[in-house]
Amino acid sequence: MELTKTEFDLLELLARNTGVVLSHSSIYDAIWGYDFGPDSKALAVYIGYLRRKTEEGNESRIIQTVRGVGYSLRAS
């Protein structure tokens, strides 16, 4: 699977914190170095890219959305 640097960094962050819900702002800080604010959709776009790449072939969703909080990588 080919990933951009940002996609890789995001997947690595989620993998290092498997099962932990990471807030939007903590992910923005870790990946981009600052919080884009509540109106930014940059994180959702990159999560979408990762989901398309990791869920090929009807595999189950590994990146979980916690509405209003952030994202988590599902433990297998």
- Domain of residue 15 covers 5-73
pLDDT digits (tens, 9 = 90+) for 11-64: 999 999 999 999 999 999 999 998 887 788 899 999 999 999 988 776 678 999
pLDDT given at position 7: 96
CATH number of the structural domain spanning residue 27: 1.10.10.10
Whether residue 63 contacts residue 54, with contact meaning beta carbons closer than 8 Å, is answered with yes
Domain total of the chain: 1
Token pair recorded at residue 57? 């072939």
According to the model, what pLDDT value does residue 58 have? Answer: 64
